[in-house]
Chain A
Amino acid sequence: MKMHRFEEIWLIFGVAVLVISMAITGYQAFAQGMGPPSHKETIDPTQVENTAPFDNPGVYQTGENEYEVVMTLQAFSFEPSEITVPKGAEVTFIMTSKDVIHGVNAPHTNLNTMVVPGQVQRITQTFNESEEFLLICNEYCGTGHQMMSATITVEE
């Protein structure tokens, strides 16, 4: 097939943009640890209350300014629903669902992931500003979906 010269230039340019965007994505994911939340760990979705650590949802300090939030999601609430951490804390959320698929998003941060029954998902976020963040469910989960929220208070 014969190609126009401009077409060649254009396609090379286009492919270069695609390759560069992929390289940046790959670099951020694998070299800088910014990859998307991709935890692979399963759980019996009908036995969440009886399975550690979800038998005791809550906020736990695990290191110097490092916290773990063990969280269950169910229509239409988060447990725990009021989380307080100090400024600069690196917080790892360990989450699963007791019923249907939910989503978790803290607007104004990069905390955004799906929480699927039968799967445990982990995501880490550092909170550098002391303010009250909203945590919402961003996947439709039933009639009360618009009420499903929690707060993360970051203290000085």
Chain B
Amino acid sequence: MANTMQSHMKKNTLPLVHFFLAFIMLLIGGTLGLLQGLNRGGVFELPASFNYYEVLTLHGILLILAFTTLFTNGYMYAAVRHTLGELSKTVKILAWSSLASFLIGSVLVVWMVLAGEATVMYTFYPPMQASPWFYIGLVFVVLCIWLAGLGIFISAFQWKRRNRGQHLPILAFFAVGIYTLVIFGSIGVTVEVLMLIPWAFGWTETINVMLSRTLFWSFGHTLVNVWYLVAISVWYTILPKIIGGRIFSDTLARLVVILIVILNVPGGFHHQIVDPAFSEGLKFMHVFMSLSIAFPSLMTAFAMFAVLERTGRKRGGRGLLGWLWVLPWGDVRFLTIMIAMISFIIGGAGGIAQTNNQLNQVVHNSLWVVGHFHITVGVTVVMTFFGLVYWLIPHLSGRVMTPFIHHLGMFQTAVWTIGMALMALSMHAAGLFGAPRRTSYTTYGDSATALGWEPYLSFLATGGTLLFFGVILIVYIVAHLMFFAPKGDTPFMDSRVEDNAHPTPKWTENWGLWVIVAILIISMGYVVPLVDLIENAPPGSPPHRTW
């Protein structure tokens, strides 16, 4: 037994190390979040040596860059290994180099921020200029993503060669889509960072501010949808198994992946709706580009209800809503994903609202936006990740979850949901009344307007405190499942399609075509504005350090 145990751990070191590091990031990032929440609630000031903006820069980077990237890589490598078989030597080398690149990059980035050399937020808009080593660190982080993607593509390719004429298994298909999208999305930011590095070293004197900002958002926005794609890979392929059902439609799932990959990148403009330098006509076209991403989400919503209803009826649920009650609400692996999906309906509706130009103008850069993404990322994506933890980590570590951990998991889910709801709702409310994001506690000289935000900000702090307990709980759960739970076999929870399903059409596998279509759509969205920003650029900006 001890032997099989060790071999388990050894065989799965790659994803386990990723998960281990990911949850360390969550622990640190969550602690910083608590500090921010308490500061905004007016509980305390942060010291000048580690001020609010350094904390916030790290919170952003650790959670949306480090935590999500590590988790995604860990999950995707585990999934590909399960569905496509043992990774080849080349792929293993790529995956480990990817992790090494991540470590080098994040050490540089975090070190620079802690040294006070890069208090520039995760968006690092020029002409604020951080130390060149901060940007070099970012290059390594991007490299990490590309290497991981390359490994996945090679695995898929090798499998296709071994299994001619067969469809790539659905989870691997998701993996290919996810890394294709993230690579497309990171091209712009790579170009940006490569312009920033010589500027930060002083080799070039000025920088094109609007061009950098626009390139950044082609990435920032895409990254969000990458996690979303990761989350729905769980909903489509894993959720059915957990509730004892089958995949609703293999074709539909693949079509959704394709649509998200090809439609997504130009959506980045919705982060620049109130920017100068773009015409109203261009901005209007981009409302279309943003909203088009909602279409595959509508398909997903349908597919999810269909799976839940079918399975509910198979479990004996009757009547209009009877199928709903018989679903396994007491199973933490289900409850987490269900809460994630429900919160996506709320977050998605909010997103559709704020991408429409005039509505955006009301909430842009207010705490509303921070509330929005703590719901979409902090609940929809993160709760889906948590839902995986309960079986994927014991599957990898060769252990089984104890009933106590299951109870604790249910409790954690409640704490997280209530904490996020409280924090995000008060952020939405404060934001509607104009409370700005990325701003440490202030009353603007006791202005009546600012004092009006205080009650919401205290709720924000309360929600943040609850959330911090949620972080501690999940980290404990992960550690237990990784190192201390009793030994045993936990199966991988991937689902099969219905027996009478229609065969999936061949065209879904045509990645060459999808890549070309994606490039066309990205060009449609970006060529005109980028050329305009370059040709009609003002004299560039020299560097500034305002922190």
Contact = CB atoms under 8 A, between A and B. Distances in A.
Given A117-B127, A120-B276, A149-B447, A36 B357 contact: yes
9 contacts: A36-B358, A37-B274, A45-B542, A99-B127, A113-B276, A134-B434, A134-B449, A142-B546, A143-B547
Interface of B: 51-53, 56, 119, 121, 125, 127-128, 209-210, 213, 251-252, 255, 272-280, 283-284, 287-288, 291, 294-295, 298-299, 301-302, 306, 352, 356-358, 360-362, 364-366, 433-442, 444-445, 447-450, 502, 505, 536-542, 544, 546-547
Contact of A117 (B251, B274, B299, B541): B541
Contacts of A116: 209-210, 213, 275-277
A105 B539 contact: no
A43 interface: yes
Given A38-B283, A142-B128, A118 B209 contact: yes
B246 to A, nearest CB: 15
Given A1-B251, A14-B295, A112-B362, A107 B284 contact: no
Given A21-B291, A42-B536, A139 B365 contact: yes
B444 A149 contact: yes
Nearest to A137: B436
Interface string A15-50: 101100110111011100011111111111110000
A79 B437 CA distance: 22
- A35, A107, A133, A146 pick with most chain B CB within 10 angstroms: A107
A40 B279 contact: yes
Contacts of B541: 45-46, 117-118
Given A10-B298, A101-B125, A105-B434, A38 B537 contact: no
A40 B357 contact: no
Interface of A: 1-2, 4, 6-7, 10-11, 14-15, 17-18, 21-22, 24-26, 28-30, 34-46, 75-76, 99-101, 103, 105-108, 110, 112-121, 132-134, 136-147, 149, 151
A117 B279 CA distance: 18
A140 B121 contact: yes
Nearest to B539: A44
A14 B277 contact: no
Nearest to B435: A107
A150 to B, nearest CB: 10
Contacts of B352: 17-18, 21
B129 to A, nearest CB: 9
A147 B53 CA distance: 14
